[in-house]
A and B are shown apart, each in its own frame.
Chain A
Amino acid sequence: MRSRATVPAWVVRLYGRWRKKRTAWFATGICVAVAVLICAPLLMIPGGSLMDGAEMRQILSPILGDGRGFAAWHLIPVYPTIGHFYRLLIESPAFYQLFWNTVGMTAAILLGQLVVGLPSAWAFAAFRFRGRDFLFGLYVVLMLLPFQVMLLPQYIVLQKLHLYNHPAAVILPAVFSTFPVFIMYRGFTQIDAEILEAARLDGAGELQIFFRIGLPLGRMGIQAAMVLSFLEYWNLVEQPMAFLEEQATWPLSLYLPQITISQAGFAFAVAVMVLIPALFVFALGQDALEEGIAYIGVKG
């Protein structure tokens, strides 16, 4: 007779837990798999930026048309090098030119949105006036319109204003974007109306209410709008491509398309450097960003 095999206790415990939470584990597994799939391109960037050119050509040869089969990828380069970063940071002044263009353009847009959008959002949130709903609806419609729809009208307007091929051609339409107004509006609507009414009863002026109550309490909405706007305009591609001919005025997002596939390692290094400011901003405004996304979720 064969003796019955003894199952270790920890296996029994694990099996028990699995049976209880197998649904949750299954869902977690799927999520992790999807997350890995989504993050895979991101994971390629640091490795690719440190990868030797020859190794890059070897593993990408099927893509480049020089080989057969499928392209492979080494998360950790076999022949790591900082040559791409050296070339980018020391030998490529064009990169810095476009970097500072992007910084300036994004800063101008964010500042402009604060100047233009903040009062608008406050007005929609704090005041009841005739045509408010219509106007707000118009804002929402404008927000929903894709850029391709607005391309031609914007082009004509910019030509008339002699702003074509000028950074203002990108900055001004962005400054008057309705999306941050919407986000900030949602932030302001979280302020209890009774607080505002009490302030008015206490004799506070509208500007006082705006600066003393509106801005502090709506800070998260403003931050969310700024973070989202930064992420959008830091990576702006279509508008500068459509309205800026002079390369000297281009943002950094147009630098990558200038790099050919044969310089993939260099492109990865550029991607790393482009990513860093966005990571800083994301880290600084992560809380506000989550809240802003939540605002978007309730915008309906």
Chain B
Amino acid sequence: MDSKKKIWRGFALFMAAMLVMTYVSRMVYVSRMPRVKWSNPTSASIRNKITAEGTVEAVNAQAVIGLDGLLVEKVCVAAGDRMEAGTVLYEVNMEDMLAQLAELSAQEEAWQKQELAKRREAATNTTRAQEDYDTNVTELDRRIAEETKKLEELMEDLDTHMFRIPEEDASDEIWIAWADERLRFDREIAEKGRLIEDIQLEKDKILRQADRNIEDARRAQSAAESGLELGASGVSQVRERQERIALLTELSENEGKVSAESAGDVLEVMMQSGMRMGADAVLRYADDKGSRTFRTVITQEQKPLVHTGDVVQLTFPGSAEEVSETIDSIVQESGGYTVTIRLEPGVAQGRTEGVMELNSTSEIYDFVVPAKALHNDGGNAVYVLEEKEGILGTELSVRSMTVRLLDKNEDYAAVADELLSGDIKVVTECDRELENGMAVKLWD
């Protein structure tokens, strides 16, 4: 009998242990069970609030051209920096610059001296030509006057001679002598007249030559004074040198600091310390006076909600500025769609980044669920809470239901499926990852 009692006792202990373990295993099972919250799909519209971060870019970027041949001592700005008019952009090496300035100044001084000498020579030549002209005129006028006087004397002698006409009865010798005399007068007068004419012609000729000489001398002087003799390239060189001297002089007065002429945002810096600059751009910046564009990339899911012409709100981090702008273009690119918005001039000055926000209200959808209820099951799907008969009795379990996503925002999603109804319980929240058919319990 004792052995029977032991067996009974063992049997009872076994059953008691099984009872205890029943509770233990239940507790373990329940503790591992995901907890879920659910809600019914509702009829509602979706307020789409699309937020996308993007960049602000200058439409026409300005360039700062480097001072050709100068050595960069220090770069004072970097891409993304804000610069105002007068902001020092970079500094050149003073020693190098002063050496160049000294050399150019010496060249200029030598050239100036050479030019001055040329001008003086030209002026002298002009004066001399004028003097020659004047001398010739005087001399020739004197000669003409002299010959004219002689001619007048001959004319008077002739007139006198004519009054000394012999008597009619004078002898032939007298008549012949008188006539010969008269002929002599006539010849001399004619010769004197020709002489005067010759002198006049010579004068004209000499004066014409003298005029030419004067003109040549004046032209040479004018050319010397105007620098035309240098030719176009020579003038250009001189001007360049003079401009460079002026530039370097100004730069030396500024202690080698190159400053911004206008306010803007530094976009790109293409120089570095120790670099000798060329005639290319060393810095690009967006001038505040110019307009800018805002670019951002939206996803495939966001694309149906964004259209060209939509009015969006733009804000800029670190600024209270908020503007309404219109979407100008949406272009598909790898990885999404690029939205471009041309900003009004003066907008987003000094900003390189911005945030686009688009608000729109959709049509009313039949079934709207919280967005976090969606999961990927080879497509969009929601977990539906169902009662399942199992060994442990009626349990709550989840079933993955594939749905078509009609619209979505950050909080809600509009879905559609033939099996959806307003009574269906959609899992909206869970404390661990769910799997199809998994038993769950409700959140307390």
Residues of chain A having any CB pair with chain B under 8 Å: 89-100, 103, 246-248, 250, 255, 276-277, 280-281, 283-284
A90–B28 touching, CB < 8 Å = yes
A96-B18, A276-B14 known; A248 vs B393 contact (CB < 8 Å): yes
Contact among A90, A95, A248 for B389, CB-based, below 8 A:
A248
Closest 8 CB pairs between A and B?
A94-B391, A96-B22, A280-B11, A248-B393, A93-B25, A247-B391, A93-B29, A93-B26
Q: Which of B1-30 contact A (CB under 8 A)?
A: 4, 7-8, 10-11, 14-15, 18, 21-22, 24-26, 28-29
Contact among B4, B10, B11, B392 for A94, CB-based, below 8 A:
B392
Cβ–Cβ < 8 Å partners of A97 in chain B: 22, 391-393
B378 within 8 A of A: no
A89–B389 touching, CB < 8 Å = no
B4–A247 touching, CB < 8 Å = no
B231 within 8 A of A: no
B390–A247 touching, CB < 8 Å = yes
Q: Which of B25-39 contact A (CB under 8 A)?
A: 25-26, 28-29
Residues of chain B having any CB pair with chain A under 8 Å: 4, 7-8, 10-11, 14-15, 18, 21-22, 24-26, 28-29, 389-394
Report the minimum CB–CB distance from A141 to chain B (whole Å): 36
B391–A280 touching, CB < 8 Å = no
Cβ–Cβ < 8 Å partners of A250 in chain B: 391
A89–B11 touching, CB < 8 Å = no
A93-B22, A96-B25 known; A247 vs B389 contact (CB < 8 Å): yes
Cβ–Cβ < 8 Å partners of B21 in chain A: 89-90, 96
Closest chain A residue to B29, Cβ basis: A93
B391–A98 touching, CB < 8 Å = yes
* 8 pairs, CB–CB < 8 Å, chain A vs chain B: A90-B28, A97-B391, A99-B22, A103-B15, A248-B389, A248-B393, A250-B391, A284-B8
Bound-state CA distance A280–B24 (Å) is: 24
Given contacts A94-B392, A100-B18, 11 further A-B contacts (CB under 8 A): A89-B21, A89-B25, A94-B390, A97-B393, A98-B391, A103-B15, A247-B389, A248-B390, A248-B391, A280-B7, A283-B7
Report the minimum CB–CB distance from B5 to chain A (whole Å): 10
Cβ–Cβ < 8 Å partners of B7 in chain A: 280, 283-284
Cβ–Cβ < 8 Å partners of A98 in chain B: 391
Cβ–Cβ < 8 Å partners of B18 in chain A: 96, 99-100
Bound-state CA distance A160–B7 (Å) is: 43
Cβ–Cβ < 8 Å partners of A246 in chain B: 389
Cβ–Cβ < 8 Å partners of A100 in chain B: 18, 22
A248-B391, A276-B14, A277-B14 known; A90 vs B8 contact (CB < 8 Å): no
Bound-state CA distance A90–B23 (Å) is: 9
Closest chain A residue to B389, Cβ basis: A246
Cβ–Cβ < 8 Å partners of A94 in chain B: 390-392
Bound-state CA distance A90–B21 (Å) is: 7
Report the minimum CB–CB distance from A204 to chain B (whole Å): 29
Closest chain A residue to B6, Cβ basis: A283
Bound-state CA distance A99–B25 (Å) is: 13
Cβ–Cβ < 8 Å partners of B25 in chain A: 89-93, 95-96
Bound-state CA distance A92–B394 (Å) is: 16
Report the minimum CB–CB distance from A106 to chain B (whole Å): 12
Which of A93, A246, A283 counts the most chain B CB atoms within 10 A? A93
Cβ–Cβ < 8 Å partners of A89 in chain B: 21, 25
Closest chain A residue to B24, Cβ basis: A90
